[in-house]
């Protein structure tokens, strides 16, 4: 049973996008990812029952304060804030429920070496899905107007958020031993896929994390050629961000920054009366749709906005002031562990979510919520 449990963990990480395979079980709408996690939970329960460690496992839950924090904050939100959109509430609830379960199973079933293997397999899963996405788009399916790579996903930034953590993880794995060229090709191809998404937030966030790691830890920085390459890459990245994000804002009536400006202006209005308790779990889209035109005094660039594109606003709207305190403490722990060289790789990956989260926050969905909670937990372990 232990072997089956671990195998299911590996399968879940490799097929993290399996939620795209949706179907009905009677009246219940589900997907392959939920089925796989449910099977994983069943085998895990049988395993701890046979080993007579159910009580001990429950006691150990208190060590995983990230998981407990999400669960408690959600419960408080449900009890204190009225839900105006039941569909969005149930959808977000499913995402969180399965993410919490899988993250807990992952942490309690695998030792440090096994976790590393599982996350590396997850990186290969991201590479496989990225290659599939290229083929999918080349065949003419779901092609973005600006030809950004997104595959069958709803947005290119979703794919970028999926690939970037594994790109950072595998890059650091290579940088720890740069003479092992066998480890180079995985981050190399993941980096290419990341560039094809044209998500400047993901590319820029990943670059900041890896540049920080190289400056602080890697022997590569001692080489003059590497320093020159780092300067050139930084220059090209800044130029790309200006050309793709800032310049369209200055020269056109629509850009992603223009849209974010509308989102943040509407968010400021919504916070005036909802700062203490937030809008309720999974309710931002409904409130935004109802208020944006009134706030802007014009038709917005987009009514369909799922999240507020800022991690502080996200946790405020989901959970109120307690959510803001929670994510602030997470940031403190991540930064502290980075400078103390504690759980460094996981803390650096977690910091990517925090950096990119300043302008994009599609965390509360199936695959990304699993990665967010898992890396937050890994980065905060004692």
Query: Does the residue 56 lie in any domain?
Result: no
CA distance linking residue 216 with residue 338, whole number of Å = 10
Does residue 76 belong to any structural domain of this protein? no
Residue 312 lies in a domain: yes
Q: Could you tell me the two tokens for 374?
A: 């898992």
Assign residue 29 a region (left: φ > 0; alpha: ψ between -120 and 50; beta: otherwise). beta
**Is residue 3, in this structure, part of any structural domain at all?**
no
Alpha carbon distance 322, 308 (integer Å): 17
Is 70 contained in some domain? Answer: no
155 and 123 in a common domain: yes
Residue 203's domain comprises: 111-248
> Do 244 and 288 share a domain, yes or no?
no
Same domain, 142 and 195: yes
Residue whose tokens read 């305190």: 325
**pLDDT tens sequence for the chain (382 residues):** 888 999 999 999 999 999 999 998 888 899 999 999 999 999 999 988 888 888 888 888 888 999 999 999 999 999 999 999 999 999 999 999 999 999 999 999 999 999 999 999 999 999 999 999 999 999 999 998 888 999 999 999 999 999 999 999 999 999 888 888 889 999 999 999 999 999 989 999 999 999 889 887 766 656 666 656 666 776 766 666 655 655 555 455 666 777 888 999 999 999 998 989 999 999 999 999 999 999 999 888 788 888 999 999 999 999 999 999 999 999 999 999 998 889 999 999 999 999 999 999 998 888 999 999 999 999 987 6
Q: Can you say how many angstroms the Cα of residue 210 is from the centroid of all Cα atoms in its chain?
A: 17
d(CA 291, CA 272): 13
Identify whether residues 216 and 290 lie together within a single domain.
Answer: no
Q: What is the pLDDT of residues 279-314, one digit of tens each?
A: 999 999 999 999 999 999 988 878 888 899 999 999
Identify whether residues 217 and 166 lie together within a single domain.
yes
Q: Domain ends where: 223, 248, 273?
A: 248
Res 250: pLDDT: 47
For position 230, what pLDDT does the model report? 62
**Phi/psi of residue 25, each to 5°?**
-110, 90
362 and 263 within one domain: yes
Q: Are residues 119 and 221 in the same domain?
A: yes
Domain assignment present for 63: no
**Per-residue model confidence (pLDDT) at position 241:** 62
Question: What string of H, E and C letters represents the secondary structure of the chain?
Answer: CHHHHHHHHHHHHHCCCHHHCEEEECCEEEEHHHHHHHHHHHHHHHHHHHCCCHHHHHHHHHHCHHHHHHHHHHHHHHHHCCCCCHHHHHHHHHHHHHHHHHHHHHHHHCCHHHHHHHHHHHHHHHHHHHHHHHHHHHCCCCCCCCCCCCCCCCCHHHHHHHHHHHHHHHHHHHHCCCCCHHHCHHHHHHHHHHHHHCCHHHHHHHHHHHHHHHHHCCHHHHCHHHHHHHHHHHHHHHHHHHHHHHHHHHHCCCCHHHHHHHHHHHHHHHHHHHCCCCCCCCCHHHHHHHHHHHHHCCCCCCCCCCCCCCHHHHHHHHHCHHHHHHHHHHHHHHHHHHHCCCCHHHHHHHHHHHHHCCCCCCCCCHHHHHHHHHHHHHHHCC
Nearest CA-CA partner of 4 in 111, 109, 121, 113? 109
- Identify the domain boundary among 248, 263, 284: 248
* Tens-place pLDDT, residues 261-285: 899 999 999 999 898 999 999 999 9
Best CA proximity match to 127, nearest among 143, 110, 112, 149: 149
Residues 203 and 119 in one domain: yes
Tell me, what's the pLDDT at 27? 84
Buried b (16+ CB within 10 A) or exposed e, 253-270: eebbeebbebbeebbebb
Q: How many domains does the chain have?
A: 2
Instruction: Flag whether 30 is in a domain.
Output: no
Distance CA(99)–CA(374), nearest Å, equals 9
> 340 — phi, psi (to 5°)?
-95, 5
Same domain, 211 and 273: no
Residues 173 and 228 in one domain: yes
Q: Are residues 237 and 308 in the same domain?
A: no
CA proximity to 95, closest of 360, 298, 282, 306: 282
Could you tell me if 286 and 344 lie in one domain? yes
**In this predicted model, what pLDDT tens digit does every residue of 87-138 receive, in sequence order?**
999 999 999 999 999 999 999 999 999 999 999 999 999 999 999 999 999 9
For the beta carbon of residue 308, count every other beta carbon within 10 angstroms: 26
Q: What is the pLDDT of residue 229?
A: 66
Query: Does the global pTM surpass 0.85?
Result: yes
Last-in-domain residue among 248, 283, 316: 248
Would you say residue 158 lies in a domain?
A: yes
Cα separation, 305 vs 73, whole angstroms:
23
């Amino acid at each position: 049973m232990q072997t089956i449990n671990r195998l299911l963990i590996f399968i879940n990480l490799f097929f993290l996008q399996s939620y795209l395979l949706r179907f009905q079980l009677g009246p219940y709408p589900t997907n392959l990812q939920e089925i796989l996690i449910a099977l994983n939970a069943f085998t895990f329960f049988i395993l701890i029952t046979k080993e007579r460690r159910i009580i001990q496992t429950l006691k150990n839950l208190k060590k995983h304060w990230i998981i407990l924090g999400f669960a408690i904050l959600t419960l408080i939100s449900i009890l204190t804030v009225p839900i105006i959109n039941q569909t969005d509430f149930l959808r977000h609830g499913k995402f969180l429920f399965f993410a919490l379960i899988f993250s807990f199973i992952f942490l309690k079933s695998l030792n440090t070496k096994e976790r590393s293997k599982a996350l590396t397999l997850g990186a290969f899963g991201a590479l496989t899905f990225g290659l599939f996405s290229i083929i999918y788009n080349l065949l003419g399916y779901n092609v973005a107007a600006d030809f950004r790579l997104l595959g069958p996903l709803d947005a290119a930034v979703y794919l970028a958020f999926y690939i970037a953590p594994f790109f950072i993880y595998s890059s650091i794995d290579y940088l720890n031993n740069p003479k092992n060229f066998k480890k180079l090709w995985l981050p190399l191809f993941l980096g290419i896929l990341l560039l094809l998404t044209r998500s400047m937030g993901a590319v820029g966030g990943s670059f900041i994390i890896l540049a920080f790691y190289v400056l602080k830890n890697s022997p590569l920085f001692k080489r003059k050629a590497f320093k020159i390459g780092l300067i050139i890459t930084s220059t090209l990245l800044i130029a790309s961000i200006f050309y793709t994000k800032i310049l369209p804002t200055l020269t056109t009536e629509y850009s992603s920054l223009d849209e974010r400006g509308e989102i943040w202006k509407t968010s400021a209005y919504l916070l005036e009366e909802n700062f203490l308790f937030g809008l309720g779990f999974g309710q931002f889209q409904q409130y935004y749709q109802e208020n944006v035109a009134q706030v802007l005094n014009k038709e917005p660039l987009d009514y369909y906005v799922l999240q507020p594109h800022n991690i502080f606003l996200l946790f405020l709207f989901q959970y109120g002031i307690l959510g803001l305190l929670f994510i602030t403490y997470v940031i403190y722990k991540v930064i502290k562990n980075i400078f103390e060289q504690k759980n460094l790789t996981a803390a650096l990956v977690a910091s990517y979510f925090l950096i990119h989260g300043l302008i994009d926050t599609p965390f509360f969905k199936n695959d990304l919520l699993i990665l967010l909670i898992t890396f937050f937990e890994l980065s905060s372990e004692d």
